[in-house]
Amino acid sequence: MKAIQITETGGPEVLRLQDVPTPTPSPDEVLVEVRVAGVNYIDTYYREGVYHASLPFVPGLEGTGRVLHDPRGEIAEGTVVAWCDAFGSYAEQVCVPRDRLVAVPEEISPEVAGTMLLQGMTAHFLTHGVHDLQEGDSCLITAGAGGVGLLATQMAAAKGARVFSVVSTDEKEQLALEAGAAEVFRYSDNLAEVVRRRNGGMGVDVVYDGVGRDTFAESLEAVRPRGTVCLFGAASGPVEPFDPQLLNTHGSIFLTRPSLGAWTAGEGEFRLRAQAVTQAIVDGTLNFRISGSYPLAEAEQAHRDLQGRKTTGSIVLRVAD
Ligand code: NDP
């Protein structure tokens, strides 16, 4: 089968289309024919070697497609499913852990199904878990027009929270506003001061920071005493080691570095979050913006665009039509 295979870690140029053996599912897995694969920032961490995987490997974690074979015979061949935790998804076929897939309602398009779970469930655990936003809460979301950013903005606004968003361009500002942000700012050294000024002189209840190195210092400044800084990613690079005493001087603030894995590990938690996301899409209360749909062979360009800050919302790879 065709797949993007990485034989050495590095820049986007290491994403090459190759012929690789078809995988064989274990009893805990289901073999799936991939139609669309989601492209996520975490895929760039594996590609660069920031996150470790044994070489050679096929990157990608999520997608949608049809079940080809269930060794246990529980899921019918041809069932349309989506998943978010199947390493090797940039491929024509992949083995998906059976407890990490959901059936796709027919109202959801393949492009959306291929990218809805990883970013959607992340936005869900941020806004309903790490800090379960309440009506009247305030939050700051960095990269507010990105994949997770636009979804977290919609979910936070739907809960009645006041969303402050940070983006890099006018187009992204417009998208963040349409998603429900109350105010949108540009990155700056006095971001926290600007946010406070617009939030009645107070820091926000929670900062959701997926940018990392470039924004972390301002995130600590922007939160209220006893508020939460949720560092959930590192699009600009990992945060440098720092003195925990800073959490004290900023007013006994909480810092967490959560993962989707930990926030879907509880009994029934994966199903609950997946169901919340798919139901919201079907109901029309959660909109996915797919700003790029690339053929599988152009995974390199997809990564260049993602890391070059050229994308908005989500992007996908078309594996089969
Ligand atoms: P995005 O679509 O948000 O793309 C990244 C965005 O980050 C860019 O569009 C850009 O928006 C912003 N950015 C700021 N500085 C930089 C920089 N120096 N280089 C590149 N981009 C920059 O990606 P995702 O939605 O896939 O992921 C967002 C974040 O969420 C990532 O950090 C990812 O690792 C994290 N994540 C964490 C999960 C978890 O379980 N903890 C799960 C899923 C995602 P702008 O131009 O507006 O600044």
Average pLDDT over residues 284-300: 98
Q: What is the pTM of this model?
A: 0.98
pLDDT at residue 147, as a whole number: 98
pLDDT for the residue numbered 189: 86
Predicted confidence at residue 159, as pLDDT, reads: 98
Contacts of 295 (CB under 8 A, 6+ apart): 317, 318
Contacts for 29 with CB less than 8 Å, ≥ 6 apart: 71, 95, 96, 97, 98
Closest C-alpha residue for ligand 1 atom 16: 236
pLDDT digits 0-9 by tens, 13-26: 999 999 999 999 99
Task: Choose which residue among 39, 40, 41, 184 to substitute to test ligand 1 binding: the one with the highest number of ligand atoms within 8 A of its C-beta.
Answer: 41
Structure-token pair, residue 225: 């005493």
Which residue from 242, 241, 220 is spatially nearest to 231, judged by alpha carbons?
220
Structure token digits, residue 226: 């006893």
Cα 117 to ligand 1 centre (Å): 16
Position 289 scores a pLDDT of 98
Pocket of ligand 1 (CB under 6 A): 40-42, 118-119, 122, 143, 145-149, 167-168, 172, 210-211, 214, 232-236, 258-260, 306-307, 309, 311
Q: What is the pLDDT of residues 162-202, one digit of tens each?
A: 999 999 999 999 999 999 999 999 999 899 999 999 999 99
Q: Which atom of ligand 1 is nearest to the CA of 39?
A: 26
Q: Which atom of ligand 1 is nearest to the CA of 45?
A: 34
pLDDT tens digits, 254-266: 999 999 999 999 9
Q: Which atom of ligand 1 has the smallest separation from the CA of 234?
A: 32
Positive or negative CA dihedral for 237, 241, 247, 250?
A: negative
Residues 114-168 have pLDDT tens digits of 999 999 999 999 999 999 999 999 999 999 999 999 999 999 999 999 999 999 9
**Residues 203-252 pLDDT 10s:** 999 999 999 999 999 999 999 999 999 999 999 999 999 999 999 999 99
pLDDT at 243: 96
pLDDT band at 321 (very low <50, low <70, confident <90, very high): confident
Cα separation, 232 vs 236, whole angstroms: 12
Instruction: Compute how many other C-beta atoms are within 10 angstroms of the C-beta atom of residue 125.
Output: 21
Mean pLDDT of 293-311: 98
What tens digit of pLDDT does each residue of 38-95 get? 999 999 999 999 999 999 999 999 999 999 999 999 999 999 999 999 999 999 999 9
Which domains are present in the chain?
Answer: 2-115+288-318 (3.90.180.10), 122-258 (3.40.50.720)
Residue nearest to atom 10 of ligand 1 (CA): 309
